Each structure stands twice: as C-alpha cells, then as structure tokens.
Amino acid sequence: MDERDLRICAEYFLEHQNQLFDEPVAENMEEACEFLDECMAQVFNDIHEVKDYFEDAGMDVDGMDDDEIRGQMEVFSLPDGRYLIVEG
C-alpha cells in the first residue's frame, strides 16, 4: 500500500473498526496505520478481486453473491469503491 492509500484506509478503518473488533485496536491515525501495516491489510479494486483473494486463502465462497462477500466482517467498503481486507 502506498502512503496515500494507507492514509485513506487508516482513516476509514479508524472510523469503522467496530465492524471487526469489539474494542478499538487503534485510537488515532498513527495507530491505525501501524495496525493495518502489521496485519498486512490489503486493498482490492473490485469485489471480484476480493472473491479471488478469499478463494486463494482457502475460503469456500462458491455460491456466495457479491453482497454476501461484502458482508464479511473483514471486508471494508472504502468510499472510493475499493475494498480493504483486514484479517483480525
């Protein structure tokens, strides 16, 4: 992830981290950037890339439609239309 992408992702993650975690894992932008870097979060351009990522990781996504993929806890729909995957 380049610096601009990391900033966009960290800002969004900071605001929406409760989607994946019961308690905050980051309190500010610096902590959010560090957390995303440490957990090797990834950004994908479209939902089909997300589905391919899950398949490559061994997740059974056969029969899941795009909305079900988007509904996975670790999938964050970024405001620019891309997807952030955060493995918890």
Exposed, middle or buried, 6 (CB in 10 Å: 0-12/13-18/19+)? middle
Tell me the mean pLDDT in the region 66-79. 96
Q: Is the pLDDT of residue 42 over 70?
A: yes
- How far apart are alpha carbons 75 and 54 in whole angstroms? 11
| Beta carbons of 67 and 24 less than 8 angstroms apart | no
What total number of domains does the chain contain? 1
* Percent of the chain with pLDDT strictly greater than 90: 92
DSSP 8-state class, residue 19:
G
* Predicted confidence band of residue 1 (pLDDT cuts 50, 70, 90): confident
- How far apart are alpha carbons 50 and 6 in whole angstroms? 18
* Predicted confidence band of residue 16 (pLDDT cuts 50, 70, 90): very high
Distances (CA, A) of 8 to 46, 64, 70: 16, 28, 19
Q: Which domain holds residue 66?
A: 3-85
Per-residue pLDDT tens for 18-29?
Answer: 999 999 999 999
Q: Is the pLDDT of residue 43 over 80?
A: yes
